[in-house]
Every structure is written in C-alpha cells, then in structure tokens.
Amino acid sequence: GAGVSQSPSNKVTEKGKDVELRCDPISGHTALYWYRQSLGQGLEFLIYFQGNSAPDKSGLPSDRFSAERTGGSVSTLTIQRTQQEDSAVYLCASSPPDLGGYTFGSGTRLTVV
Amino acid sequence: QKEVEQNSGPLSVPEGAIASLNCTYSDRGSQSFFWYRQYSGKSPELIMSIYSNGDKEDGRFTAQLNKASQYVSLLIRDSQPSDSATYLCAVNDFRDDKIIFGKGTRLHILP
C-alpha cells in the first residue's frame, strides 16, 4: 500500500482481556518498529524487526507484551491480560533498507476500562 | 544509555518570525538525524533528515548539524499558525538500527 496501515484505529477493552494490534508496513520496507505514546508523553520504543533477523525486544515493558512479524511483512502486537496503564496510542513505523527515516502509521488508540 | 534532549517548551513565536528548535544527543557514534512534526492527535511525520555537518534547506525549513558539539537544530522561516505542533528530534546510529526520539518541543505560532 501507499502508507503504513494499522488496525483497528480505536480499541476499547476490559481490564484482563487480550488484544491484538495489526500493522501492515510499506511494501519493500524491511524494518518495522512498534512504539507507544501515552497522553502528552514522548515515544516509547517497544520492539524492532529487521528482515529475517531476531527482533530487538528490549523495549517491551513486561512479558504480557509480544509481537510477531509473518513473512517479513505484516506484524501483530499482542497484549495479554491488559491493564489500565496499557492505555496509550500504539504506533507502528517502517523504514527502507537504508534506514532513511521512519514512516509512521496512524496508530491504534487503546483504552483499557 | 543513549539520550536525545529537547526543551519541552512551549516555544511561542510570532507569525512571520523564525522559529528555532534545538536538540542535543549523547552518542558520538550517531550518524543520521531527523526532525518529525506531530500535530495533536496525529502520528509523527518526517519533515527533515540530515546526515553531514552543516545546513540543509528544504523550503521554509533548515536543519543544522554540528557533530563536534553533538547538536542539531531546526529553523522554520516565516512561521505560520499551521506550524504549531510538537517537533520531535530523532537520532540513529547504524550499529543499533533503531531511532531514538527526544520527548519533543511544543511550538506555538502566535497569529
């Protein structure tokens, strides 16, 4: 597609439920990143995929968070047993092989009630 | 711990004036530098990238890089109300691949 596509755009879930967030990167972009942004805060790095290499999971805040990238394209971020502090906008970005800057998707706004 | 520091603002600038946004970074190995603009409720948008010392101009925007001082800045000439947004400085070194973002500077252009 023309841009990075994320779905759903909004998600309201009950505390304790699992959620899955999807990211479809720009075609040909080998790198894919997940960030989250709480209200009025900066971007918090979560996880990074580059080609077929093992992902950099150093930013995942707890073992309730996991992500996978199938076929080097679409990625899914899963949050298990959601907590209220997980409420944030989850942003996906992709970049070309020369790492010349990211293109962000429009994000998924997650609200845990 | 690699860090990117920005003044959080808000920085208020009269319409038509030059807005100057500054950023410092801690890792001397950094090689790529980016400025993103983020409107309220929207995702960040890449507006400038710079890779070598000196100035890079694109329309009303000029990015300035000084690697010796570990300093990168963004100048916005003839500021417009539509420039009001949060500006994020971001830095990357190829040893690590991922970009580190500053917390952003809120810019308010006064009509």
Q: Which residues of A touch B (CB under 8 A)?
A: 31, 33, 35, 41-43, 45, 48, 50, 56, 89, 91, 99-107
Q: Is residue B96 scored above 80 in pLDDT?
A: no
CB contact under 8 A, B49 and A101: yes
Is B49 within 8 Å of A100 when comparing Cβ atoms?
Answer: yes
Residues of chain A with pLDDT under 50: none
pLDDT of B92 over the 90 cut: no
pLDDT tens digits, B23-32: 999 988 888 9
pLDDT of residue B110: 95
CA distance A27 to A2: 8
| Predicted local confidence at residue A97, as pLDDT | 78
Find the closest chain B residue to A88 by CA distance: B41
Facing B97 at nearest CB: one of A35, A50, A105 = A50
The confidence score (pLDDT) of residue A98 equals: 74
Cis bond upstream, residue A8 (ω within 30): yes
Q: Which residues of A5-31 are buried (b: 16+ CB within 10 A; e: fewer)?
A: ebeeeebebeeeeebebebbbbeebbb
pLDDT score of B42:
93
Identify the residue among B23, B52, B99 best suited for mutation to test binding to A, counting A beta carbons within 10 A and taking the highest: B99
Q: Is B98 touching A (CB cutoff 8 A)? A: yes
Q: Would strands A108-112 and B105-110 be described as parallel, antiparallel, or unpaired?
A: unpaired
Q: Which residues contact A62 (CB under 8 A, 6 or more apart)?
A: none
Chain A contact for B50, CB < 8 A? no
Q: What is the pLDDT of residue A69?
A: 94
Instruction: Report the alpha-carbon angle B96-B99-B105, nearest 5.
Output: 150
Q: Which of A31, A41, A103 sits opposite B46 (nearest CB)?
A: A103
What pLDDT is attached to residue B100?
Answer: 87
- Nearest residue in A to B91, CA atom: A101
CB of B68 within 8 A of CB of B87? no
- Condensed to tens digits (0 to 9), the pLDDT of residues B38-50 reads 999 999 999 999 9
CA pair distance B45, A104, nearest whole angstrom: 7
Contact flag A102-B46 (C-beta cutoff 8 Å): yes
pLDDT at B68: 94
A10 with A99: CB under 8 angstroms?
no
Tens of pLDDT, residue by residue over B60-86, are: 999 999 999 999 999 999 999 999 999
User: Is B103 within 8 Å of chain A by CB?
Assistant: yes
Q: Coil, strand or helix: which one is A69?
A: strand
What is the separation of C-alpha B11 from the centre of its chain, rounded to a whole number of angstroms? 13
